[in-house]
A = this chain, B = another copy of it.
């Protein structure tokens, strides 16, 4: 009891230092390519401390991954499950939230997706994505718009893919864009800010295509 409280006084600093370093390195290189020594160097702490605080590389990774998943999907969940907003409004909010999030954390998508390829089951089990996506109010609303003849009847997954593709994909290909097109970071961000306004309009145009 007193152990815990005493521990946390100074632990917090070191534990957080390790986690922050782990987040940076894992996000940049993925699980397999990061060595525990990379994390210890990045954080400036002794290698043994990593195991002292987190027991194992894998355990530390799982913590970082869980936080990353939550951070990434909570925006989606809140935007998709708001029952007071229109479909158009949900999309605007989603696009806005995500582009802001991704400008701050551009490495999250490729991090999640490349780990997803290795162990999809374990990753998916960490978060209740069905609730976020398939059972979301967004999906129900989409179906009712279709029935009302407001939008073209297609599988709502197409819209999800288009939204995700238009929002997320640029960040995934950005290392390439910078290298190829000589696009600088601020130039890239400027394009992304343009997209905040444009993607909702594009989606509106798409769902009216016959």
A6 at the interface (CB under 8 A from B): no
Residues of B within 8 A of A110 (CB): 113-114, 117
**Contact residues on A (Cβ < 8 Å of other chain), bracket:** 35 or more
Residue contact A175 to B30, C-beta cutoff 8 Å: no
Distance between A168 CB and nearest chain B CB, rounded to angstroms: 7
A153 at the interface (CB under 8 A from B): no
* Segment with Cβ contacts to B, from A43-51, A52-60, A141-149, A191-199: A191-199
Which of B33, B155, B209 meets A201, CB within 8 Å?
B209
20 contacts between A and B (CB under 8 A): A30-B32, A33-B33, A116-B175, A120-B175, A121-B179, A129-B176, A130-B181, A154-B198, A155-B191, A155-B194, A157-B181, A157-B191, A161-B170, A161-B173, A162-B165, A164-B165, A164-B169, A165-B168, A165-B169, A168-B169
